[in-house]
Amino acid sequence: MAIEWTPALSVGVEYIDNQHKEWFEKANNLFEAGKTGKSKEYIGDMLKFLDEYTKKHFNDEEAYMEKINYPEIEQQRIAHRNFVEKLAKLKQDFEESGGNIAVIVNANRMVVDWLTGHISNMDKKIGIYTKSL
């Protein structure tokens, strides 16, 4: 299932939105690679990139929340930590399965739900708070 960035997912903080767009693009590349049978090395590299990019994005987002004294930063940190753990498990499952592409295709729902759900329900509040400052 392809995932697409839509303006409805905009947080209203440009660099956070840009990072989210990048996340969507790379996640789509990963899922397309899985569906088209690309090499397991390519998919392994994409998983590594997503893992590193996710951590960077979360660090950037949390630094921004600290800067603006965002009141729900702890809830965000917990959600971020939980997702990083799920992503690490996905990476481990892929490696332990010998590069089984089905692991990636089956993980699609988890990532789609995270990206759309977390951005819509939690990250958009950051933009609302920023506008109130």
Report whether pLDDT(98) > 60. yes
CATH code: domain of residue 70: 1.20.120.50
Q: What is the pLDDT of residue 2?
A: 66
Q: What is the reported pTM?
A: 0.81
Give the highest mean pLDDT range of 18-32, 66-80, 97-111, 112-126. 66-80
Question: What is the three-class DSSP state of 98?
Answer: coil
Domain that holds residue 93: 40-132
Instruction: Examine residue 30 and state whether it is found in any structural domain, yes or no.
Output: no
Cα separation, 47 vs 113, whole angstroms: 17
Instruction: Examine residue 91 and state whether it is found in any structural domain, yes or no.
Output: yes
With tokens 């996340």, the residue in question is 23
Instruction: Examine residue 128 and state whether it is found in any structural domain, yes or no.
Output: yes
Number of domains in the chain: 1
Instruction: Examine residue 71 and state whether it is found in any structural domain, yes or no.
Output: yes
